[in-house]
Amino acid sequence: MKKASSKKIFDALESFRIELPSWGFANTGTRFGKFIQAAAATTTEQKFSDAAQVHLLTGVCPTLALHVLWDCPDGARSTEEIKKFSARYGILPGSINPNLFQDQEYKFGSFGNPSPVIRQRALQHTKDSIEIARRLSSRDISMWFADGSNYPGTANIRQRKDWFTNFLKESHDALSEGQRLLIEYKPFEPAFYHTDIADWGMALLLARAAGPQAKVLVDTGHHYAAQNIEQIVAWLLSENMLGGFHFNDRRYADDDLTMGSIDPYQVFRIFHEIRFFEWEKGQRADIAYMVDQSHNLKGKIEAMIQTVTVAQELFSKAAIVNEEELATAQTNCDLIAAESLLQDAFATDVRPAIREWRSAKGLPESPMEAFRQSGYLERITKERSLQNSQTVSSYA
């Protein structure tokens, strides 16, 4: 590999950080049931401990996304305990995720519920989540809604749009300076006829209506098969409305598979659009890179390490694309040259350069091998096996 390419990879890795999800360390499953793993985390402290192991070995995961009902069961009162976990394990609280889908009262929606009482409860929960984020010095509040309907004629779609617009504005008004409201979208599931925020355009319109501190969050699993996600990313970058990602992979729909397990070239293309945008603008894009995966069969911590290392490889591949040559090829309509620049970068083995970077940072050259030799998995399996035989954590 050329020295210039190695430097690009080193520079890219220095700035690349990816947030881990607390729920990714817990027992998860499908709508039909949960699958129990003896080593899965059953408490918030255990999630911080597991995340600390991933960060210790990779050096790029300093924050942990938290789900309010699962990690802050006592609301804002939970923040003092979370601060203790953070100090103990060296992991900062990351994005705060309100839960507007799990309680029985949300059967017919949250912000879009026909009941004004339930809509107000959903709004208050969102404001409480914003307060939790403020106390934990967390910048981002990630909003995902299961709201929608399953049958034609059963919901007033335009009315629900107005409710969402108004309640997101009120949520935005509760933000502190520096906080952001990230609005996520999903085409279907659990709603199968219409979903209130079904695509990036709807999320974009609602974010703009909410206020200047609202952005769009792209979950890579929340798209129809064969959808051009990197085009969506490019448009949101152009509009200065891309706030962050929930990274995972999928074969069919929202499969929540480990990153790059199905289509690593797509992730590479997404990273390339971001890097190309940054090259053109001469500055970094303010994007939160977050993981959102359900490791039903893979070991929890191993799956996280796998995702993080794959993310580093794909980000590094995107970093070595020669943007100046690409821009020239695009201007000259040289299709072969332009496409080859991407293909050649993707085909490059960047792992030697990444190993050099890790060695320079005092990190293990192979995080997965280091984890498997650490004894941590054997220890927590023994400690947690009894707990996990009696407890099933929630995930949606």
Predicted confidence at residue 392, as pLDDT, reads 46
Predicted confidence at residue 37, as pLDDT, reads 93
Task: Work out the number of other CB atoms within 10 angstroms of the CB of residue 58.
Answer: 25
Task: Give the CB-side neighbour count of residue 249, counting CA atoms within 13 A.
Answer: 19
The answer to whether the CB of 285 falls within 8 A of the CB of 243 is no
Predicted confidence at residue 247, as pLDDT, reads 97
pLDDT tens digits, one per residue of 264-311 = 999 999 999 999 999 999 999 999 999 999 878 999 999 999 999 999
Amino acid, single-letter form, for residue 5? S
The answer to whether the CB of 148 falls within 8 A of the CB of 109 is yes
* Pair of tokens at residue 152: 């034609």
As a whole number of angstroms, the distance between CA 348 and CA 351 comes to 9
Question: Please, which residues have CB within 8 angstroms of residue 153's CB and are 6 or more apart in sequence?
Answer: none
For the chain, strand residue ranges (E) read 20-21, 28-30, 33-35, 63-67, 92-97, 140-143, 148-149, 180-184, 194-195, 214-219, 242-247, 288-291
Predicted confidence at residue 296, as pLDDT, reads 84
The answer to whether the CB of 130 falls within 8 A of the CB of 141 is yes
Question: Please, which residues have CB within 8 angstroms of residue 348's CB and are 6 or more apart in sequence?
Answer: 1, 5, 317, 320
Pairing assessment for the beta strands 63-67 and 214-219 based on DSSP bridges: unpaired
Question: Please, which residues have CB within 8 angstroms of residue 396's CB and are 6 or more apart in sequence?
Answer: 101, 102, 146
DSSP state of 19: B
User: Which residues of the chain fall below pLDDT 50?
Assistant: 392-396
Task: Work out the number of other CB atoms within 10 angstroms of the CB of residue 47.
Answer: 30
CA-only gyration radius of the chain, Å: 21
CA angle 148, 154, 160 (to 5 degrees): 50
Superfamily of domain 3-388: Divalent-metal-dependent TIM barrel enzymes (3.20.20.150)
* Pair of tokens at residue 124: 């208050």
The answer to whether the CB of 245 falls within 8 A of the CB of 220 is yes
